[in-house]
């Protein structure tokens, strides 16, 4: 597609349920990031995929969070046993080149998660 | 942990005024980027600076990278309501991940 696509755009769930968020990066982009943005806050790094290298999971806040990416395509972020503090917008971004080469991140519009 | 501190956190000004926002760190960055985010959308890249002391201009916006590559500033001349948004700085250091500051929320009132 023309841009980074995320789904669902909005998700309301009950505490304790599992949720899956999906990201379709721009075709050909080897790098893919997930960030979390709480209301009125900046972006909190969650996980980074680069090609076939092992992902950088250092930002995942707990073992309830996990993410997968198949090759250089779609990624899913899974949150198990959701808690109210998981409520946030989850942003996905992709990049054609590595950040160390000053690549630009292209962001999706995000998935807004509300945990009741 | 590489932290980027942005200031001020909130800024509300009148149309036509000038403003400067800051991005500071104790870490050295190989490059630093500025993004702008509008409500309900993802951030959009404004500029990338890579050389210490570098100054880049984008119409009414002037970006500067500190000589030591630890800090950056964004200056807006004659602000307009369309400049309203969340301004985020982001840096790349030793690791591959792009680290963001918490942002400056700018409101320009007509």
pLDDT tens track for B59-81: 999 999 999 999 999 999 999 99
The phi and psi torsions of A99 (rounded to 5 degrees) equal -55, -35
In this complex, the residue of A35, A43, A104 whose CB is nearest that of residue B45 is A104
Q: How far is B93 from chain A (nearest CA, A)?
A: 8
Q: Which residues of A touch B44 (CB under 8 A)?
A: 107
The string of pLDDT tens digits covering residues B30-63 is: 889 999 999 889 999 999 998 899 999 999 999 9
| CATH code for the domain of A9 | 2.60.40.10
Residue B70: predicted pLDDT: 92
Residue B27 reports pLDDT greater than 80: yes
Residue A101: predicted pLDDT: 58
Distances (CA, A) of A99 to A36, A67, A95, B8, B92: 19, 20, 8, 26, 7
Residue B84 reports pLDDT greater than 80: yes
**Partner B contacted by A54 (CB < 8 A):** no
**Partner B contacted by A105 (CB < 8 A):** yes
Reduced to 3 states (helix: H, G, I; strand: E, B; else coil), residue B15 is: coil
Q: Which residues of B touch A31 (CB under 8 A)?
A: 96
**Strands A106-107, A111-115: pairing kind:** unpaired
What is chain B's mean pLDDT, rounded? Answer: 92
In this complex, the residue of B31, B96, B102 whose CB is nearest that of residue A48 is B96
Q: Which residues of chain A have pLDDT under 50?
A: none
**Partner A contacted by B21 (CB < 8 A):** no
Distances (CA, A) of A84 to A23, A65, A81, A87, B40: 22, 14, 10, 6, 21
Residue A50: predicted pLDDT: 87
Q: Which domains does chain B have, with CATH numbers?
A: 5-105 (2.60.40.10)
Q: Where in the sequence is the domain holding A83, given as residue range(s)? A: 5-115
Please give the tally of structural domains in chain A.
1
Size of interface A-B (CB pairs under 8 A): 68
Residue B87 reports pLDDT greater than 60: yes
């Amino acid at each position: 597609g023309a841009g980074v696509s995320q789904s669902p755009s909005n998700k309301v769930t009950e505490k304790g349920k599992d949720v899956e968020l999906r990201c379709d990066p721009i075709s050909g982009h080897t790098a893919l990031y997930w960030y979390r943005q709480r209301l009125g806050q900046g972006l909190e790094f969650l996980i980074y995929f680069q090609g076939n290298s092992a992902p950088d999971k250092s930002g995942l806040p707990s073992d309830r969070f996990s993410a997968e990416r198949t090759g250089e395509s779609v990624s899913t972020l899974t949150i198990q046993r959701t808690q109210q503090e998981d409520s946030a917008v989850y942003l996905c971004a992709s990049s054609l080149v590595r950040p160390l080469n000053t690549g630009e991140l292209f962001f999706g519009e995000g998935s807004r998660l509300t945990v009741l | 942990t590489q932290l980027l501190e942005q200031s001020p956190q909130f800024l509300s000004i009148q149309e036509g005024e000038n403003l400067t926002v800051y991005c500071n760190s104790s870490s050295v960055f190989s490059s630093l980027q500025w993004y702008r985010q509008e409500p309900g959308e993802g951030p959009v890249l404004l500029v990338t600076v890579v050389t210490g002391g570098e100054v880049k201009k984008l119409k009414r916006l002037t970006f500067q990278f500190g000589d030591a590559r630890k800090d950056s500033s964004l200056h807006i001349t004659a602000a307009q309501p369309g400049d309203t948004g969340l301004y985020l700085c982001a840096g790349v250091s030793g690791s591959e991940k792009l680290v963001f500051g918490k942002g400056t929320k700018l409101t320009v009132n007509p």
